Amino acid sequence: MMNTSSLSQKRTPKSILRFAAPQMFYPLAGTLAPWCAGIAAVLTVIGLYIGFFVAPTDFQQGEVYRVIFIHVPAAWMSMLIYLAMAFWAAVGLVLNTRMSFIMTQALAPTGAMFCFLALWTGALWGKPTWGTYWVWDARLTSQLLLLFLYLGFMALTQAIEDQRRADRAGAIIALVGAVNVPIIYFSVQWWNTLHQGASVTPTGSSMASTMLAGMLVMAIASWAYTFAVVFWRVRSLILERERHTDWVGAEIDAQEGRS
């Protein structure tokens, strides 16, 4: 019944930890999201320009290698986002902070999307380079299993109606998955080398510096994109979860007045 959030706000005036409160994080996310989206857009344009107009043709693979500018960043992001999810899941379970669970759930769909993109672009890259859309290579297989982990997490949190239980169950499966990811990778690598002999490796060993530059710019762009989308998703989640509070009511009134 009491407006507790304003009390805690007074107690911790300038600490960064005040953003652990949904009420404080909501406006911050709202301010940051458009900036992140803008940075992502600008960097994407720069990265694609470098990728398509500056980077030379790969002497082994020809033009196909240009898939790398989305393939590698997507693969990186899919793994990083899973780690971030596991991190927030652990924080949520240990410290019992509401924002952590919101973060975990806001990250998952974007991670799954990057995971799928890494697989899709990998398949399209593999066809002309290896002669097949799919090989049961260690990296591809682990990526596929990572996608299943993402789907499992999202399916579980969607299936549980009770908010509290959904948060915690999701956090547990995210952590269990994170513990298993290295084991899966190791086992798949072992299995792959036993069965297939020399595994296929994409990209020539010598990468032109402009290729690398394009890839890195695109990687930073996908970071920025992830931040933007996650911030937007977090804002919706916060509104839904904090709908009983005064400040959300005020926020909704303000939104209504604007539209």
- Judged by the rule CB under 8 A, the positions of this chain that interact with other proteins are 52-54, 56-57, 62-64, 66-67, 70-71, 74, 93, 109-110, 113, 116-117, 120-121, 124-125, 127-128, 145, 148-149, 151-152, 155-156, 159-160, 164-165, 168-169, 172-173, 175-177, 179-180, 183-184, 186-188, 190-191, 194, 225, 229, 232-233, 235-236, 239-240, 243-244, 246, 248-249, 252-253, 255-256
Closest to other proteins by CB, 9 or 187:
187
Asked whether the CA dihedral 20, 23, 29, 31 is positive or negative, the reply is negative
CA dihedral 191, 193, 195, 199 (to 10 degrees): 120
Closest to other proteins by CB, 99 or 113:
113
What does the alpha-carbon distance between residue 103 and residue 85 come to, in Å, rounded to a whole number? 7
Q: Could you tell me the smallest distance in angstroms from the CB atom of residue 241 to other proteins?
A: 10
Q: Could you tell me the smallest distance in angstroms from the CB atom of residue 147 to other proteins?
A: 9
Phi, psi for residue 156 in degrees, rounded to 5:
-65, -50
Q: Could you tell me the smallest distance in angstroms from the CB atom of residue 112 to other proteins?
A: 10
Closest to other proteins by CB, 183 or 198:
183
Q: Could you tell me the smallest distance in angstroms from the CB atom of residue 167 to other proteins?
A: 9
Closest to other proteins by CB, 23 or 121:
121
Q: Could you tell me the smallest distance in angstroms from the CB atom of residue 17 to other proteins?
A: 25
What does the alpha-carbon distance between residue 50 and residue 38 come to, in Å, rounded to a whole number? 18
Structure tokens at 75: 């693969």
User: Which residues touch 159 (CB under 8 Å, ≥6 apart)?
Assistant: none
Structure tokens at 186: 């190791």
Closest to other proteins by CB, 11 or 244:
244
Q: Could you tell me the smallest distance in angstroms from the CB atom of residue 46 to other proteins?
A: 15
Q: How long is the chain?
A: 259
- Helix 22-49 to helix 98-130 angle, to the nearest 10 degrees? 20
- DSSP type of residue 64: G
Closest to other proteins by CB, 18 or 189:
189
CA distances to 11, 72, 80, 145, 231 from 148, in Å: 43, 19, 16, 5, 24
Closest to other proteins by CB, 204 or 249:
249
CA atoms within 13 A on the CB side of 246: 6
What does the alpha-carbon distance between residue 51 and residue 57 come to, in Å, rounded to a whole number? 10
Q: Taking a C-beta distance cutoff of 8 angstroms, is the pair 151, 112 a contact?
A: yes
Closest to other proteins by CB, 55 or 99:
55
Q: Could you tell me the smallest distance in angstroms from the CB atom of residue 185 to other proteins?
A: 9
Q: Could you tell me the smallest distance in angstroms from the CB atom of residue 16 to other proteins?
A: 25
